[in-house]
């Protein structure tokens, strides 16, 4: 039984990058709380696998192949999402790519800079713009949630581009929170710490890295995609009706220590 304030029955959540990792963690909990789900990703196979995993929730799940860095593709996918599910109440701009660490900032090519900006920042802009436009036109409010990162506030050496996109995500969310509050639309950012997903598999699988980082996480484990379910349901539901413009750090205490 879901407490009423957290009940998402009759609502629709769009999760970009929802076919695995943190996005799938969001989607699983949102569906369990009663929301119908739209998932966007570039891989049709991964979208289909996620749809299968979510089938057990009994909710409607629609997937769309969409590269969020492509403005026209986002407009088309948003229209297709509305055609399939009728509305979007919660928009999770979560799709992202990591920096290809290793090289110093002094050696970073413009192509590498643009590769990360294109998905993480342009992608969030395209996605949020379409969702905010829809929510304003429809009326009745909504929730915009951006996946930022601890890298927005920690110095992410050799990943200046990645850190910059995540810092910008926080700024974009704060600006949207003010601009759209009059429409009952809230905007918040989630900042994950070190979470076990495909994105971090190499780092977390590296013994030296794990030996350095794990002892500095007070909760003494890597985060898991399921650790992001509670915050997703909270931020989309009436339970967070007066909560906007915030950056919520979910890092097992890593940043404290
Ligand atoms: P992941 O497992 O690698 O998943 C990334 C997701 O983004 C996939 O669903 C992928 O789907 C999608 N995606 C990538 N490029 C896309 C594009 N151009 N258009 C649409 N979808 C795209 O990574 P994750 O760890 O769950 O990361 C999710 C978010 O959390 C990212 O924004 C990441 O920066 C952030 N984050 C992660 C960590 C961590 O420790 N894992 C920490 C801080 C922040 P396709 O492959 O189908 O495109």
Pocket of ligand 1 contains residue 19 by CB under 6 Å: yes
Q: What is the mean pLDDT of the chain?
A: 97
Token match 């590269």: residue? 67
Count of residues in the chain:
257
Pocket of ligand 1 contains residue 77 by CB under 6 Å: no
Q: Which two tokens stand for residue 223?
A: 């985060």
The residue whose CA has the least distance to atom 18 of ligand 1 is: 67
Å from CA of 4 to ligand 1 middle: 31
Q: What does the pLDDT read at residue 155?
A: 93
pLDDT digits (tens, 9 = 90+) for 101-158: 778 999 999 999 999 999 999 999 999 999 999 999 999 999 999 999 999 999 999 9
pLDDT digits (tens, 9 = 90+) for 34-78: 999 999 999 999 999 999 999 999 999 999 999 999 999 999 999
Å from CA of 255 to ligand 1 middle: 21
Q: What does the pLDDT read at residue 2?
A: 74
Is 162 one of the catalytic residues? yes
Cα dihedral value 208, 101, 125, 246, nearest 10? 30
pLDDT at 1 over 70: no
Output the CA–CA distances (angstroms, integers) from residue 29 to 87, 157, 158, 204, 232, in the order listed.
Answer: 19, 33, 34, 25, 7
pLDDT at 178 over 80: yes
Is pTM beyond 0.95? Reply is: yes
């Amino acid at each position: 039984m879901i407490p009423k304030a957290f009940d998402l029955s009759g609502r629709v959540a769009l999760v970009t990058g929802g076919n695995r990792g943190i996005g799938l963690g969001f989607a699983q909990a949102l569906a369990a709380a009663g929301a119908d789900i739209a998932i966007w990703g570039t891989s049709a196979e991964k979208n289909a696998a996620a749809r299968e995993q979510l089938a057990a929730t009994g909710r409607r799940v629609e997937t769309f192949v969409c590269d969020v860095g492509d403005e026209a593709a986002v407009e088309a996918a948003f229209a297709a999402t509305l055609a399939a599910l009728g509305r979007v109440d919660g928009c999770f701009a979560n799709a992202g790519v990591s920096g290809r660490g290793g090289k110093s900032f002094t050696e970073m090519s413009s192509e590498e800079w643009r590769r990360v900006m294109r998905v993480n920042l342009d992608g969030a802009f395209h996605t949020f713009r379409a969702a905010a436009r829809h929510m304003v036109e429809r009326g009745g409010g909504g929730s915009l949630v951006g996946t930022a990162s601890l890298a927005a506030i920690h110095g992410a050496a050799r990943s200046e581009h990645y850190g910059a996109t995540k810092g910008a995500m926080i700024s974009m969310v704060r600006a949207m929170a003010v601009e759209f509050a009059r429409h009952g639309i809230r905007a918040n950012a989630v900042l994950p710490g070190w979470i076990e997903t495909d994105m971090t598999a190499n780092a977390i699988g590296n013994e030296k890295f794990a030996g350095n980082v794990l002892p500095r996480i007070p909760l003494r484990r890597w985060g898991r995609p399921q650790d992001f379910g509670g915050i997703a349901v909270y931020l989309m539901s009436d339970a967070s009706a007066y909560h906007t413009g915030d950056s919520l750090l979910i890092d097992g205490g890593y940043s404290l220590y």
